[in-house]
Amino acid sequence: MTAPDTATVADLLPDVPALQAGLDAVDYLADEGTATALFCAARLAQPVLIEGEPGVGKTQAATSLAQVLRTPLVRLQCYEGIDVAEALYEWNYPRQLLSIRLAESRGEMLEDADVFGEEYLVARPLLTALRHPGPRPAVLLIDEVDRADDDFEAFLLELLADAAVTIPEIGTLRAAYPPIAVLTSNRTRELHDALKRRCLFHWIDYPSAQRSAEIIRRRVPGSSRTLAEQVARTVERLRRLDLQKPPGVAEAIDWVAALELLGVRALDAGAVERTLGSALKYVEDQQVAREAGLATLVAG
Tens of pLDDT, residues 146-191: 999 988 888 888 788 889 888 888 888 899 999 999 999 998 888 9
Task: Tell me how far CA of residue 64 lies from CA of 138, 172, 219, in angstroms.
Answer: 12, 31, 13
What is the tens place of the pLDDT at every residue in 181-199? 999 999 888 898 988 988 9
What is the tens place of the pLDDT at every residue in 34-73? 999 999 999 999 999 999 988 899 999 999 999 999 999 9
Instruction: Give the pLDDT confidence score for residue 1 in this predicted structure.
Output: 55
32-44 and 58-69 are packed helices; what angle lies between their axes, rounded to 10 degrees? 60
Residue 210 near residue 243 (C-beta atoms within 8 A): no
- In whole angstroms, what separates CA 296 from the centre of its chain? 35
What is the tens place of the pLDDT at every residue in 259-287? 999 999 889 999 999 999 999 999 999 99
Instruction: Give the pLDDT confidence score for residue 294 in this predicted structure.
Output: 94
pLDDT tops 70 at residue 2: no
Instruction: Give the pLDDT confidence score for residue 293 in this predicted structure.
Output: 93
Please state the rounded mean pLDDT for residues 64-86. Answer: 94
Q: Of the ranges 13-17, 46-50, 87-91, which one carries the lowest mean pLDDT score? A: 87-91
Task: Tell me how far CA of residue 247 lies from CA of 58, 73, 253, in angstroms.
Answer: 15, 26, 10
pTM: 0.86
Instruction: Give the pLDDT confidence score for residue 71 in this predicted structure.
Output: 97
The DSSP result for 107-143, as a single string, is: T----HHHHSSGGGEEE-HHHHHHT---SSPPEEEEE
Backbone angles phi, psi at 150, to 5 degrees: -60, -40
Residue % of the chain over a pLDDT of 90: 74
Whole-angstrom Cα distance, residue 34 to residue 19? 10
Residues 6 or more apart from 166 whose CB is under 8 A from it?
Answer: 158, 172, 173
CA atoms within 13 A on the CB side of 91: 15
Residue 191 near residue 49 (C-beta atoms within 8 A): yes
Largest CA distance in the chain: 82
* 13 DSSP 8-state letter: -
Task: Using CA atoms of 135, 136, 138, 139 in order, give the dihedral in degrees to the nearest 10.
Answer: -160
Instruction: Give the pLDDT confidence score for residue 5 in this predicted structure.
Output: 83
Task: Tell me how far CA of residue 217 lies from CA of 31, 57, 300, in angstroms.
Answer: 17, 15, 21
